[in-house]
Chain A
Amino acid sequence: MSTTNASSEAPLEGGRSGLRRRRPAAGSPAAAARDRRRSKQRRRLANIAGLLAALVLTGVGYSALAPGASAADDSTGNPSNAVEAGRELYTRSCITCHGSNLQGVQDRGPSLIGVGEAAVYFQVHTGRMPLVRQEAQAPERPPIFSEEEIDQLMAYIQANGGGPTLPSGDLRDGDLAEGGELFRLNCAQCHNFTGMGGALSSGKRAPSLLDANDLTIYAAMLSGPENMPVFGDNQLTPDEKRSIINYVQTIKAAADPGGAGIGRVGPVAEGLVMWTVGVGALLFGIFWMGTKAP
């Protein structure tokens, strides 16, 4: 638009425009356009510089005021400091959905009173919390918080809400076969007999236990995350829980004596192999036999 205007103006009022501009060739429409472009660029540069300066200022100010890594370092070994650091983390990342007093927020998140550090360990350590968005079920992700920050959050929730605590010692210290029996009785209906996981209603699911470590499984039994029921120490004694963990981890690590495990999901994968590999290979075989001999 501006270029056409300039070119239409120039022949008529060449003298005046020549006075305004310093360069003798300024009267030409092309030069006018160039000048206009240059001033626009200058303005744009100034804007960017201003924005950058503001951002740097904000960043510096934030780093000066916000609790940094050094503050967290002080807390180690000091329970009240850990609780305090946990409160900071809670206020930053959890309070929106779980409320200022762990009481939960309607339609956003449940109360955390009584869930204990076991629930915090499970949810935060598997990356399920903080939640990305409200959906059928929180998916497993790489954890957002460091081990230390998780400890701080656990301390804070434990101090203010109370509830089951994490176990210590060898979590696989149990009878293998009994663990298998207990697993089939209590866990297999959702997690599948090989721990491959299973579908629940409306997009919810019992996750696969392939990536779960001992403590995660124990914490899940203690806290009953998402759709899972709580298996308190009255339902499954700590020894029984250790047996189950022993079974799950042993079976996971065990080789498949029969060859490729094809996901250990049973007949669906077997049928797929039969129809693709088996029937495929035989069709190839009979095509070969059906080709005309010379």
Chain B
Amino acid sequence: MATTTTTAPGQPTTLVGKAALEVDDRLIVAGPLRRTLNKVFPDHWSFLLGEIALYAFVVLLLSGTYLTFFYDATMTEVTYEGSYAAMRGIEMSAAFESSLDISFDVRGGLLIRQMHHWAALLFVAAICVHLLRIFFTGAFRRPRETNWFIGVALLVLAMLEGFAGYTLPDDLLSGTGLRIFSAVFLSIPVIGTWVYFTVFGGDFPGELIIGRLYILHVLIIPAILLALIALHLLILVKQKHTQFPGAGRTEHNVVGHRLFPTFAGKATALFFIVFGLCAALGGLVQINPFWLFGPYNPAQVSAGSQPDWYIGFVDGGSRIFPPWEIVLWGYHIPPVLWGALGIPGIMFTLLALYPIIERKLTGDTASHHLLQRPRDVPVRTSLGMMAITAYVVLWISGGNDVIAEKFDISLNAMTWFGRIGFLVLPPIAYWITYRICLGLERHDREVLEHGIETGVIRRLPSGEFIEVHQPLGPVDEHGHGQLAYGGASVPKKMNQVGGARRAIRGFFSPIEEPAAVQRQAELEARGLESEQSSRELTGSGRPSEGGRPSEGGRPQQEPRD
């Protein structure tokens, strides 16, 4: 940059501008920064789902750092003498004692711990919802398979991270979960016993596991998560966003708002919404009250012990798997292995490989930047719904004892519901979804072909009644629309094509006067009419009808439907 003259046009005159110039002189960041700030984000709401996960992760980092100041990750036996009366004099691990201290003696400790836990539940939930959006819209297709793999890895890591964190208070609930995991380690053929002794450094529970899980929880997994999230976002920026098909949207552009200022404002707002939600839940709704559960003692166990929601399906799988004793190549394989490792293993393998599987099955190897609506790919959508159904059945089975108790159902009935439901409900979900997809797609095609139902009934000279349809575009000699099916949203109501006054704006309350909107609409219509009368009509070539809804815009001699 030129620095010799101060009078040249474009030179900064303010202090900030001059400082920025000095920085740019040394680091040369203006170009890349401009490119980044100009990045365009699509404005559809579903593109914000992944961002919720990102902000939940930020909340987790902030609140988790505060907790590390007070948490003691050792399993040394201590006698509690703190302020919670119902535990005073009880022997417990130092980890549990410090957790009690965080909840009862550290200023703001309980709030921050509850925020941390709620944000963790939200983090995994947001990843799952984001994953579903990516799956159902086909955003994982070439060239974005890499980001799909990274996303699946992030999900698995988030679950592990959550499980490690759930275990850290060393309470009776999480200890029971850890005990189940130790049984799962033992159930692995051939290497199970060695894995078990390696993880626990001896027999369960030992004195090491909390310290090891702590390092996993605060250092190793977060570091990998952070690196993968960064990579995930870099790839996203490099490959640019996908977008839904629509007017003006092609495979070669992205329609939306630039990062700066619009999207930055939106993103900041969303961060505060996520932060506020975590804070509100942390302050208002009690989570993981481990002082009621008590310190972990392998001799004790409680009814209704559950993992956090994202591990629930693993628990469900092991609860409903039949007690079959399977011997393979001379190795006895306990049923818990199939339920706890087999089902999640198959699930995540299929999930990670899905882009490749779909590419092989469809033979579609082209690059795609336009999304597909779920209805346009009925097989994929139905497979997704089938997987969700199976997951939900496992999930319900993971909490089947609580459900049985609360709703006065036999626990055995709940188990059999899980077993039968896991096999029967997914195919039903597939069939129902497939029919719904076809129905929606057919309706879109019908509207494209025959037009929008106007609700205007007309009587023909012959006495026949017909409903007048508004074609969406030019029609052929039979009155059928000539617009091709493009996989984009099709307007199905007259006010979506300007047949009625548009909806009054305002999310919570109207922010404009209906009368003013009406006036404006009339003005616009007059402008349109004069414009239309001044030019040759395209399409149906019927200037007399002018494509106005009241006339139906349909040829008189072809009164169909």
Chain A residues in the interface with B (C-beta under 8 A): 136, 175-178, 180-181, 184-185, 188-194, 196-203, 205-206, 247, 250-251, 254, 256-262, 264-268, 270-271, 273-275, 277-279, 281-282, 285-292, 294
Q: A194 near B266 (CB under 8 angstroms)?
A: no
Known: A189-B302, A271-B312. A264 touches B289 (CB 8 A): yes
Given A266-B304, A266-B306, is A258 in contact with B274 using a C-beta cutoff of 8 Å?
Answer: no
Q: Which residues of B contact A199 (CB under 8 A)?
A: 303, 400-402, 404-405, 411, 414
Does any Cβ of A come within 8 Å of B299's Cβ?
A: yes
Residue pair A200, B52 in contact (C-beta under 8 Å) = no
List 21 contacting pairs A-B, 8 Å CB cutoff, sorted by A.
Answer: A184-B300, A189-B302, A192-B303, A192-B304, A198-B302, A200-B411, A260-B285, A266-B305, A270-B287, A271-B312, A273-B285, A274-B118, A278-B118, A278-B121, A282-B126, A282-B274, A285-B270, A287-B45, A290-B44, A292-B43, A294-B505
- Interface residue B65 (Cβ < 8 Å from any Cβ of A): no
Cβ contact within 8 Å between B43 and A192 = no
- Report Cα–Cα, A188/B281, bound state, in Å: 28
Give the chain A neighbours of B76 by CB distance below 8 A.
Answer: none
Contact A198/B110 with A259-B285, A273-B281 known, Cβ cut-off 8 Å: no
Binds A, one of B86-94, B181-189, B208-216, B340-348: B86-94
A289's partner among B48, B305, B409, B410 (CB-CB below 8 A) is B48
A200 to B281, CA, bound (A): 32
- Give which listed residue, A261, A268, A275, A282, contacts B286 with CB less than 8 A: A261
Bound Cα distance A265, B305 (Å): 9
Q: A196-B304, A281-B277 are in contact. Are A251 and B52 (CB under 8 A)?
A: no
**Number of contacting residues on B, CB 8 A?**
73
**Given known contacts A189-B302, A289-B266, is B412 in contact with A201 (CB within 8 Å)?**
yes
Q: Are B90 and A265 touching (Cβ within 8 A)?
A: no
Q: Which of B52, B292, B505, B507 contacts A288 (CB 8 A)?
A: B507
Chain A CB within 8 A of B288 CB: yes
Knowing A136-B410, A258-B114 are in contact, say whether A270-B304 is a contact too (CB < 8 A): no
Asked whether B288 lies within 8 Å of A270 as measured between CB atoms, the reply is yes
User: Which chain B residue lies CB-closest to A287?
Assistant: B45
- Quick one: which of B407-454 are within 8 Å of A by CB? 408-414
Interface centre among A185, A197, A257 (most CB of B within 10 A): A257
A260 touches B294 (CB 8 A): no
What distance in Å separates the Cβ of B119 from its nearest Cβ neighbour in chain A?
Answer: 10
Cβ–Cβ < 8 Å partners of B305 in chain A: 266
Are B52 and A282 in contact (CB-based, < 8 A)?
yes
- Residue B467, interface by CB 8 Å: no
On whether the beta carbons of B411 and A201 are closer than 8 Å, the reply is: yes
Closest to B396 in A: A268
B190 contacts chain A at the CB level, 8 A cutoff: no
Whether B286 lies near A257 (C-beta < 8 A) is yes
Contact B303 A181 (CB under 8 A): no
The answer to whether B173 and A274 have CB atoms under 8 Å apart is no
User: Are A189 and B301 in contact (CB-based, < 8 A)?
Assistant: yes
| CB within 8 Å for A192 and B286 given contacts A178-B89, A271-B121, A275-B309 | no
Secondary structure class of chain A's binding surface, majority of residues: helix
Residues of B within 8 A of A197 (CB): 303, 405
Q: At the interface, yes or no: B85 with Cβ under 8 Å from chain A?
A: yes
Contacts of A282 in B (CB 8 A): 52, 122, 126, 273-274, 277
State A185–B302 Cα separation when bound (angstroms).
9
**Residue of A268, A290, A292 touching B48 (CB-CB under 8 A):** A290
A176 smallest CB distance to B (angstroms): 5
Q: How far is the CA of A260 from the CA of B284 in the complex (A)?
A: 6
Q: Flag B284-327 by CB within 8 Å of A: 1 or 0 each.
A: 11111100111001011111111111001000000000000000
* CB closest chain-A residue, reference B114: A258
Would A198 and B103 count as touching, CB distance under 8 A? Answer: no
Give every chain B residue within 8 A of A288 (Cβ-Cβ). 507
Interface presence of B154 (CB below 8 A) = no
| Residues of chain B contacted by A294 (CB below 8 angstroms) | 505
Say whether B410 contacts A198, CB under 8 Å: no
Query: A193 contacts B87, CB within 8 Å?
Result: no
Q: Report which of A190, A203, A264 forms a contact with B410, defined as CB distance below 8 A.
A: A203
Q: CB-nearest residue of chain B relative to A208?
A: B405
* Distance (whole angstroms) from the CB of A202 to the closest CB of chain B: 5
With A258-B289, A270-B308, A286-B49: A180-B87 Cβ-Cβ less than 8 Å: yes
Interchain CB contact under 8 A, A176 and B304: no
**B252-277 Cβ-contact flags toward A at 8 Å (1 or 0):** 00000000000000100110011001
Which A-chain residue is minimally distant from B311 (CB atoms)?
Answer: A267
Question: Contact between B52 and A258 (Cβ–Cβ < 8 Å)?
Answer: no
A193-B293, A270-B308, A285-B270 are contacts. A188–B301 as well, Cβ < 8 Å?
yes
Whole-angstrom distance between the Cβ of B164 and the nearest chain A Cβ: 15
If A251-B86, A257-B110, A266-B173 touch, whether A198 touches B304 (CB-CB below 8 Å) is: yes
Q: In the docked arrangement, what's the CA distance between A282 and B122, Å?
A: 10
Which A residue sits closest to B117, measured CB to CB?
Answer: A270
On chain B, the residues within 8 Å of A203 by CB distance are 408-413
B274 with A192: CB separation less than 8 A: no
Knowing A184-B172, A262-B285, the reply to whether A193 touches B302 (Cβ < 8 A) is yes
Query: 20 additional contacts, CB 8 Å, given A176-B88, A185-B300, A188-B303?
Result: A176-B85, A177-B87, A177-B89, A184-B297, A188-B301, A189-B301, A199-B411, A203-B413, A258-B103, A260-B284, A260-B286, A264-B289, A266-B288, A266-B293, A268-B309, A278-B118, A278-B122, A282-B274, A286-B48, A286-B52
Question: Roughly how many angstroms separate A291 CA and B118 CA in the complex, as a whole number?
Answer: 27
Contact A268 B402 (CB under 8 A): yes
A258 vs B110: C-alpha distance in the bound complex, in angstroms?
7
Minimum C-beta distance from B402 to chain A (A): 5
Give chain A nearest CB distance to B509 CB in angstroms. Answer: 13
Chain B residues contacting A290 (CB-CB under 8 Å) are: 43-46, 48
Nearest-CB residue, chain A, relative to B270: A289
How many Å from the CB of B67 to the closest CB on chain A? Answer: 15
